[in-house]
Chains A and B, each alone.
Chain A
């Protein structure tokens, strides 16, 4: 089957194609036939039983670029530049390569890319390699398809040469190259040697979406075998010869530092090897976790708390509320909201409170590091290669390029492993430095360390005021946001903050999609000495709740249906409206429910993906409630793997439901109260609602799905609770006011 292409398409591809090739050539990733280059994932030298013995490639390999290698054994290796932390990137990116290569899904295997931003940068982040902001598929969509198309073209040219036929009579399907007129065929493997001698094509064509054979299909995840038999390798599982396990005594309050410590008792614990001070604590190194843990239990540390943060959550909220009396920096201004409020027939006001949240990924933070002659080598569920390389280099007095990073599976992250300060990675570097690099070090955080060492979703306070005209239309909208900036003081401040506005504080609010003629959104970003960080869906975790419960309140205040009011106000936003209508229809919006039950809706865009959810709740007589069913509609452009999208909708929603129902970090005189899953409670199986996911058909380029489902559930549930009980909710986690 010959591929059909439009001229328009060819032109677009040609232009970007040039840039693609240039970068390929610049990094020397040309053809390497005959030169032995092992295409194996850098694996730790395992002291224990070897878990995955990968064969070294000693055969000629087709390596047309940094992303795809094809071996004579028919294996297509896709080098994935993004972290697999559950979101499916080890499945999605290979799908893109395999599509244009016309490979069989079964012949594709995945390899983690090394840390090298010259080849593996996130194209949305300039010269930075890393994973986040639901960008993995979106930034790679063209890049990965071109990588596959280039390899395909070289295989076709090889076949043409071998069979002395014209290339345009050749087709490729499922890893087999055909020339039908002469009835000849050859597998990829059989053509590799000759293909590697072909020039890298000056231009490649990409398929039209209707030609897709892998994209849009439900293909099994590439990581599902190793993740059901215990073989998947996480940082926690790395064991190097002579490696020591390090546990760190962290300060009891943020900003405190170790003054002095007494390690006499610790050193008596069998298995403890050393105790060293590092800038933010004291590390106990031992032959294994349990020895280190028992050693740390008896360690005496005297802390200097003169610079420590000593406020409680209540005091932080009081400060926020007093700041909210004044106007902040204006993030968006349309029309004259003040004048419009004065003309309004009715004014509705509400204020919302949000706590700190821990990421609480299932795998607590950890990092393995070893110093060597080249510099250092790290094994990590690595989400932020370039910033981590720079941070570690500066601790160890190295060049960034001397910091070699092996990206392993991460047992979740939800943003945590992309830390702007590289906190836990730097901690590991300090420890290995403090022992003079005499042994490899595995830094392990316990659950308690993970929960108490900071980097939370910040607390926030929102104040909203809306004016409604005599016919029930909202004509004014004022939204004031108070909360600590995530970016302030980090190297990302310049790139992501505009006019003193941290975009991550106002996203989801400043870009309010509703057609209201007068809007003001303003922001206060007070300095609070608590380490904060992005948490799955970032600003939308709070802005979506405030906006989507407030618009619901406006609707019910004027006696409108919450779905219909939204739909009317989204006239200019067809993609919002599309998911809103789809979710409502599939959920049976408007169909009556029995007493004690309610249905609520919310819609929100984040990271250029659009999600609407309808939640159904049952409220018991004692005012406990359950979330029974959630219907989700998503528009994320072309659905690369519909089943991975469904999984991210289910899981992203479930992650948001934890915060809606119960998760909360509170500070008391600067100390974190929670420590483990008994007091930082998260969603469990018996609380998981039934979920239905509906994907909007689209031909738009794909956008991410890791985060956009998360912020929508809390407002949908709160609105459903209102439908069931007539009560409004102004705080997360949701609880009935006494």
Chain B
């Protein structure tokens, strides 16, 4: 039994300690907004915040994060996150949408760190998140729009 704190709620989950956080979140806690794309920290679809830091949950064993606050797409509620989500909607960034939880987590983390990112900052922060629909033009534009709306 592992106790996780996800989005402010406490979950007691019956999973093996080596279970990646991703699968504890999805299968055990039943929060399916966080996606599986590669399982090897190559695509960013599974990005969540652990203690506020963007983390690839697919390679993070649950045993390593017990007691640390975890935020998933369902639990985003900061001003920055809402600005990101609203920019995403304003520019209709999404296509299939499958990568977008991870994109939004990464973008929120970027703006938390750097409220006025340059193209280079965006490249560095977002190139770990694959979008097979190639919505990249709009991801870039939406990050800038969100940044602007926060100033």
Q: Is A51 an interface residue (CB 8 A)?
A: yes
A residues near B76, Cβ cutoff 8 Å? 229
B60 to chain A, nearest CB (A): 13
Q: Is the CB of B16 within 8 A of A270?
A: yes
Chain B, residues 66-103, CB within 8 Å of chain A (1/0): the string is 00000011101000000001001100111111111100
In the docked arrangement, what's the CA distance between A688 and B99, Å?
A: 16
The total of Cβ contacts below 8 Å across the A-B interface reads 186
- Nearest B residue to A709, CB-CB: B134
Asked whether any CB of chain B lies closer than 8 Å to the CB of A288, the reply is yes
Q: How far is the CA of A651 from the CA of B133 in the complex (A)?
A: 5
Give every chain A residue within 8 A of B15 (Cβ-Cβ): 288, 290
* Across-interface contacts of B93 in A (CB, < 8 A): 224, 228
Within 8 A of B (CB), among A364-400: 364
Question: Whole-angstrom distance between the alpha carbons of A325 and B92 in the complex?
Answer: 50
Residues of B within 8 A of A226 (CB): 97
The answer to whether B39 touches A290 (Cβ under 8 A) is: no
Question: B residues within 8 A CB of A654?
Answer: 133-134, 136
- Interface residues as binary, A414-441 with B (CB distance below 8 Å gives 1, 0 otherwise): 1000000000000000000000000000
For the complex, is B1 an interface residue (Cβ under 8 Å from A)?
no
List the A side residues contacting B32 at CB < 8 Å. Answer: 48, 51, 230, 233, 236-237, 239
Contact yes or no, B35 A657, CB < 8 A: no
- Please give the distance in Å from B19's CB to the nearest CB on chain A: 5
A232 within 8 A of partner (CB): yes
Partner of A288, one of B23, B98, B140: B23
Is B34's beta carbon under 8 Å from chain A?
yes
User: Are B97 and A650 within 8 A (Cβ)?
Assistant: no
Contact A363 B96 (CB under 8 A): yes
A411-B98, A654-B136 given as contacts; is B42 within 8 A of A677 (CB)?
yes
Q: Chain A residues with Cβ under 8 A from B99's Cβ?
A: 362, 411
Interface-central residue, A225, A232, A410, by most chain B CB under 10 Å: A232
* B139 CB within 8 Å of chain A: yes
Contacts of A446 in B (CB 8 A): 39
Whether B35 contacts A677 by the Cβ 8 Å rule is no
A20 to chain B, nearest CB (A): 31
Chain A, residue nearest B92 (CB): A221
Which residues of B are found within 8 Å of A643, using beta-carbon distances? Answer: 92
Contact: A685 with B132, CB < 8 Å? no
Residue A184 at the B interface, CB < 8 A? no
Q: How many residues of B contact A (CB 8 A)?
A: 58
Residues of B with C-beta under 8 A to A223: 94, 97
Contact string against A for B residues 129-141, beta-carbon threshold 8 Å, 1 for contact and 0 otherwise: 1111111111110
- Bound complex: CA A676 to CA B92 (Å): 29
Residues A207-252 near B (CB distance < 8 A): 220-221, 223-234, 236-237, 239, 245
A7 shortest CB reach to chain B, Å: 39
The number of chain A residues with a CB under 8 A from chain B is 69
| Contact pick for B89, options A84, A228, A271, A688, CB 8 Å | A228
Q: CB < 8 Å: which of B40, B122, B123, B126 contacts A447?
A: B40
Is B114 on the interface with A (CB-CB < 8 A)? Answer: no
CB pair B89 A225 closer than 8 Å: yes
List A contacts of B40 (CB < 8 A): 447, 676-678
List of B residues within 8 angstroms of A224 by Cβ:
88-89, 92-94
Check A650–B88 contact: CB distance below 8 A.
no
A281-325 to B contact mask, C-beta < 8 Å, 1/0:
000000011110010000000000000000000000000000000
With A224-B88, A647-B138, A676-B38 as contacts: A684 and B130 at CB distance below 8 Å = yes
**Distance to closest chain B CB from A677 (angstroms):** 4
Let me know if A289 and B23 touch, CB within 8 A. Answer: yes
A556 CB to nearest B CB, Å: 30
Q: Is the CB of A48 within 8 A of B89?
A: no
Known: A290-B15, A657-B134, A677-B43. A685 touches B129 (CB 8 A): yes
Contact of B138 among A360, A361, A650, A655 (CB under 8 A): A650
Identity of the chain A residue whose Cβ is nearest the Cβ of B119 in the assembled complex: A686
Q: How far is the CB of A439 from chain B (nearest CB, A)?
A: 15
**In the complex, chain B residues whose CB is within 8 Å of the CB of A655:** 132-134
A734 contacts the other chain (Cβ, under 8 Å)? Answer: no
Of A270, A294, A686, chain B has the most CB atoms within 10 Å of the CB of A686
Most buried by A among B20, B31, B42: B42
Q: Is B28 an interface residue (CB 8 A)?
A: yes
B27 on the A face (CB < 8 A): yes
Q: Do residues B135 and A647 form an inter-chain contact, with CB atoms below 8 A?
A: yes
B134, closest chain A residue (CB):
A654
Is B101 a contact of A651 with CB atoms below 8 Å? no
Q: Tell me, yes or no, whether B30 is within 8 Å of chain A by CB.
A: yes
Q: Does A549 contact B (CB under 8 A)?
A: no
**Which residue of B has the minimal Cβ distance to A690?**
B137
Distance to closest chain B CB from A178 (angstroms): 31
Q: How far is the CA of A549 from the CA of B4 in the complex (A)?
A: 56
Are A361 and B134 interface neighbours, CB within 8 A? no
- Judge whether B30 and A688 touch: CB under 8 Å: no
> Within the complex, what minimum Cβ distance (angstroms) separates A365 from chain B?
12
Q: Mark A637-663, 1 if CB is under 8 A from B, else 0.
A: 000000110010011111101100000
Q: Is A29 an interface residue (CB 8 A)?
A: no
Apart from the given pairs A414-B132, A647-B95, A688-B136, 11 other A-B contacts in the complex at a CB distance below 8 Å: A86-B95, A220-B92, A224-B92, A289-B36, A290-B20, A290-B23, A447-B38, A676-B38, A676-B39, A685-B140, A686-B127
Q: List 17 A-B contacts (CB under 8 A).
A: A221-B92, A225-B89, A229-B76, A230-B32, A236-B36, A288-B27, A362-B98, A410-B96, A411-B97, A647-B138, A651-B95, A654-B134, A655-B132, A658-B134, A677-B43, A684-B127, A686-B124
